[in-house]
């Protein structure tokens, strides 16, 4: 433990200097007070860091207050939280070690921590990471020109680090992120391929990589995500009933997709003579599962000029656009939203409702049908009136 240094001007007030923390270009200081309780026993109490707002004056005031509380019998020992001196950097290091073993996206967490969080929070104790500090962090991240999505990912990482610290028994204070409003990014893609653009893309891919062309065909015709395509095994294909068993979808539950005739033909042409049920349909290099979309796809998109002049990332053509095109085409041909939801493997209908505006005139038709019913009702009423009048005239 660092040696406590007395501040002669303030009786009973001491400080220790940190070897790692800095405050205003100098080593950060933590202030302590020394006093005797009612029994004459010497006691020490830690006040806090200078970077947290503590000063020698504040520490001395705290000492006077404690002495008065002892004199009047109102003293209540200060509750010390677990590992109050534990820094955000120390916990983040443990978290990233855990993430490396437990999360596929651990590299993203590592990059966000090093680039955006560490420069601001690394030297702070967990207690010093306040909601106000996180609001300032959010403001500064936006000041760098980062998107809503990136800012949200950074703040969520802070939340996860605090949650793990609590779960591991390293910290028992509140999670400050709970009082910070997270951004609500709009990542919904609206652009989808026309049938002509899809044909052009498949043709361009055929000349570059039949492997990627077949993956694109499967996404366009069946709505599979790239991760689902990469995980597909020959045992998942039921050619008799033309069903694809999607066993590793993002939604966390298996679902069925259905082969078109073109997709069925593609599978049969790809199938090796010595195929085994556990073999990957689209193996990567070395026969292992492919982790990312081939660069051949992006070269084909660039060659066709699909993304020229488009700044909004949501409007750019990526592999996921093919799945989005599949759902959009279904909506345009009048497929009910619930059916689209099931085919896409969405968790909720709310995720599918983005395609509702593409369903042809469904709202107009509903209102028009209602109007026609009213019109028919009026005509029927008029006919009854004329009939009754004719009866009265005959009488």
CA distance 296 to 302: 10
Of 110, 114, 113, give the one whose Cα is nearest residue 101.
Answer: 110
CA distance 215 to 266: 10
- Report pLDDT digits (tens) over 58-70: 999 988 888 888 7
HSE toward the beta carbon, residue 363, CA cutoff 13 A: 3
Per-residue model confidence (pLDDT) at position 183: 86
Both tokens assigned to 116:
């955006």
CB atoms within 10 A of CB 351: 15
Could you tell me if 294 and 168 are in contact, meaning their C-beta atoms sit under 8 angstroms apart? Answer: no
- Report pLDDT digits (tens) over 124-151: 998 889 999 999 999 999 898 888 888 9
Name the band, by pLDDT with cuts 50, 70 and 90, for residue 266. very high
CA distance 336 to 359: 8
Per-residue model confidence (pLDDT) at position 189: 62
What is the average pLDDT value for the chain, to the nearest integer? 85
The helix (H) or strand (E) run that includes residue 252 is none
- Report pLDDT digits (tens) over 287-326: 899 988 999 999 999 999 999 887 766 788 999 999 999 9
pTM, entire model: 0.54
Name the band, by pLDDT with cuts 50, 70 and 90, for residue 254. confident
- One-letter-per-residue 3-state SS of 280-331: ECCECHHHCECCCCCHHHHHHHHHHCCCCCCCCHHHCCCCHHHHHHHHHHHH
CA distance 286 to 292: 14
CA distance 292 to 230: 9
pLDDT for residue 250 is more than 60: no
CA distance 167 to 243: 43
Per-residue model confidence (pLDDT) at position 274: 92
Of 191, 231, 187, 209, give the one whose Cα is nearest residue 323.
Answer: 191
Per-residue model confidence (pLDDT) at position 255: 86
pLDDT for residue 82 is more than 80: no
Contacts of 270 (CB under 8 A, 6+ apart): 214, 281
Of 81, 155, 82, 77, give the one whose Cα is nearest residue 112.
Answer: 155
Q: How far is CA 264 from CA 269, 275, 281, 322, 324, in A?
A: 9, 16, 13, 18, 21
- Report pLDDT digits (tens) over 140-182: 998 988 888 889 999 999 999 999 988 888 888 889 999 999 9
Q: Which long-range contacts (CB under 8 A, 24 or more apart) does 281-288 make?
A: 281/229, 281/232, 281/233, 281/234, 281/236, 281/237, 282/211, 282/214, 282/215, 282/229, 282/230, 282/232, 284/230
pLDDT for residue 373 is more than 70: no
Q: How far is CA 156 from CA 112, 141, 378, in A?
A: 11, 13, 60
- Report pLDDT digits (tens) over 174-229: 899 999 999 876 656 668 899 999 999 999 999 999 999 999 999 999 999 999 99
- Report pLDDT digits (tens) over 95-106: 999 998 888 788
């Amino acid at each position: 433990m660092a040696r406590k240094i007395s501040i002669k001007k303030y009786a009973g007030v001491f400080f220790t200097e940190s070897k790692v923390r800095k405050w205003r270009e100098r080593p950060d200081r933590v202030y302590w007070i020394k006093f005797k309780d009612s029994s004459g026993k010497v006691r020490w109490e830690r006040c806090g860091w200078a970077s947290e707002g503590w000063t020698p004056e504040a520490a001395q005031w705290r000492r006077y207050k404690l002495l008065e509380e002892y004199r009047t019998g109102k003293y209540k020992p200060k509750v010390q939280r677990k590992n109050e001196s534990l820094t955000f950097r120390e916990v983040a290091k443990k978290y990233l070690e855990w993430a490396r073993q437990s999360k596929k996206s651990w590299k993203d967490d590592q990059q966000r921590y090093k680039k955006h969080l560490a420069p601001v929070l690394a030297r702070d104790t967990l207690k010093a990471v306040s909601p106000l500090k996180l609001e300032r962090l959010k403001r500064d991240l936006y000041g760098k020109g980062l998107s809503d999505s990136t800012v949200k990912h950074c703040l969520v990482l802070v939340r996860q680090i605090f949650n793990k610290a609590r779960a591991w028994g390293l910290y028992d204070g509140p999670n400050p992120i709970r009082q910070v409003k997270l951004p609500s990014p709009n990542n919904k893609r609206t652009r989808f391929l026309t049938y002509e653009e899809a044909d052009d893309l498949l043709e361009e891919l055929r000349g570059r990589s039949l492997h990627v062309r077949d993956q694109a065909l499967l996404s366009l015709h069946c709505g599979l995500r790239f991760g689902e395509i990469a995980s597909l095994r020959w045992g998942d294909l039921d050619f008799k009933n033309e069903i694809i068993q999607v066993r590793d979808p993002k939604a966390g539950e298996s679902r069925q997709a259905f082969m078109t005739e073109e997709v069925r033909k593609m599978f049969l042409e790809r199938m090796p003579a010595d195929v085994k049920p556990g073999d990957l349909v689209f193996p990567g290099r070395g026969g292992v599962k492919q982790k990312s979309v081939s660069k051949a796809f992006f070269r084909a998109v660039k060659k066709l000029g699909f993304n020229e002049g488009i700044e909004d990332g949501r409007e750019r053509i990526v592999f996921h656009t093919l799945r989005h095109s599949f759902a959009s085409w279904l909506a345009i041909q009048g497929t009910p939203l619930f059916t689209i939801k099931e085919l896409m493997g969405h968790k909720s209908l709310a995720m599918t409702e983005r395609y509702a505006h593409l369903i042809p005139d469904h709202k107009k038709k509903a209102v028009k049908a209602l109007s026609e019913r009213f019109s028919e009702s009026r005509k029927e009423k008029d006919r009854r009136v004329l009939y009754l009048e004719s009866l009265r005239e005959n009488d």
